């Protein structure tokens, strides 16, 4: 089994333009394939009801993994599998991302973000 590198946001304590502090922990994890891991995130603004977890691989693209619109409400976004990636949000200002059955493909930097507005992606297909 190979080693899996799970990096967290390079700016572990980051201030947004509006002064929200976000803290992620732990800051670096190296795990064996098949292991599970939990990454915690908390922030200091209780008006930010929306929370998101993203993954950024070495090529730079960021993929949304999970999203939450409030305490105890979370969903895993396709194509991510809920049995492997899940978000727990017991408080408005705290969340945990759980990854189960780690594989080399899971090696990435994981970011937690918060917002007081919902992010919405739209896709249209013209024929």
**pTM > 0.85:** no
Neighbour count for residue 121 (Cβ, 10 Å): 6
Q: What confidence category does residue 95 fall into, taking pLDDT thresholds of 50, 70 and 90?
A: very high
Averaged pLDDT, 98-103: 93
Contact 40, 94 (CB under 8 A): yes
Give residue 116's pLDDT: 77
Q: How far apart (Å, rounded) are the C-alpha atoms in residues 1 and 89?
A: 31
SS3 105: helix
Read off the pLDDT of residues 3-55 as tens digits, 9 standing for 90 and up.
655 554 333 334 444 567 788 888 788 888 899 999 999 888 777 788 899 99
Its CATH architecture, for the domain 3-115, is: Sandwich (2.60)
Rounded to whole angstroms, how far apart are CA atoms 75 and 53? 11
Residue 98's pLDDT band (boundaries 50, 70, 90)? very high
């Amino acid at each position: 089994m190979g080693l899996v590198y799970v990096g967290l946001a390079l700016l572990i304590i980051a201030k947004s333009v509006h002064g929200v502090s976000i803290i992620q922990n732990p800051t670096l994890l190296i795990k064996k394939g098949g292991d599970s891991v939990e990454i915690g995130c908390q922030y200091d603004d209780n008006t930010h009801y929306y929370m998101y977890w993203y993954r950024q691989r070495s090529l730079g693209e960021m993929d949304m993994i999970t999203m939450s619109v409030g305490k105890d409400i979370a969903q895993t976004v396709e194509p991510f599998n809920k049995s492997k990636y899940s978000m727990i949000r017991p408080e408005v200002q705290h969340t945990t991302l759980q990854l189960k059955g780690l594989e080399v493909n899971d090696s990435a930097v994981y970011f937690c973000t918060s917002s007081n507005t919902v992010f919405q992606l739209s896709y249209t297909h013209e024929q």
